[in-house]
Amino acid sequence: MCDPVAPVQASWCASPNFGPRRGGLRPSVVVLHYTAMQSVEAALERLCDPAAEVSAHYLIGRDGGLWQMVREDQRAWHAGVGEWCGLEDINSRSIGIELDNRGDHPFSEPQMAQLERLLAQILQRWSIAPEAVIGHSDMAPGRKMDPGPRFDWQRLSRLGQARATPPVSGRCLCDPDVPLGALLRTYARDLGYTSDVDDETLLTTLRLRYRPWAKGPLVAEDLAPLAQADLWF
């Protein structure tokens, strides 16, 4: 087992599960995951197991411990099948960060603080826009749920490390003759959600990110975090 070191710097714990980025691609997206495992030790063992054929560039423990398993210029095997902004092979386009979390409890303060420090370095190093920091569920809707409904996206948004949600209130000024479902798909596609999924799956995916408390059928409030602020009053 590799030992974590001080924040900002990562303990190197090499995974054999990687390869070169295809087609000369470089990182332009950051994909956040949860491990869905009982401990960080179990997650690290799996991410470095050649039989598992999975990996990530970084793993952050609940206590803020940080490990690096694959160099950023290499292609880690974390994203799998999916699409973002009409582009596939997200592994070749992204840096993957795993967070030690089962998916059914909040993310700890030390873990989130370490993630913020790491993201600040990655975004600056590769000139990645905040809008390109996404969840595994964003690029693989219906197939993946992580980092899940307990992840604090608003916290990253306030720091400029994820898409800022427009401040909106009141009612939508959209064309009343356009069905809400069509508006949802338009807004989602403009943000990068281009995977071919049904309306229910798309709504579930968007709520995971923007309205994790919401239940039931599509309502106008589901559009508010996706639309531009000037469409609302």
Question: Is 98 a catalytic site residue?
Answer: yes
- Rounded to the nearest integer, the mean pLDDT of the chain is 91
Domain ranges in the chain are 11-158, 180-231
184 φ, ψ (degrees, to nearest 5):
-60, -45
Burial class for 171, CB neighbours closer than 10 Å (0-12, 13-18, 19+): exposed
- pTM equals 0.93
102 band by pLDDT with thresholds 50, 70 and 90: very high
What is the distance of C-alpha 182 from the center of its chain?
25
pLDDT, one tens digit per residue, over 195-223 is 999 999 999 999 999 999 999 999 988 99
Peptide bond into 147 cis (omega under 30): yes
* Cα angle: 86, vertex 91, 94; to 5 degrees: 80
| pLDDT of res. 4 | 41
pLDDT of residue 82 exceeding 90, the answer is yes
Among 83, 98, 109, 200, the one annotated catalytic: 98
Contact 49, 16 (CB under 8 A): no
Helix, strand, or coil here: 34? strand
Count other C-beta atoms under 10 Å from residue 134's C-beta.
Answer: 26
Dmax over CA atoms of the chain, in Å, equals 60
In words, the CATH class of domain 11-158 is alpha beta
CA distances from 79 to 29, 75, 157, 217 (A): 11, 10, 22, 29
First to last CA, the chain: 55
pLDDT of residue 79 exceeding 60, the answer is yes
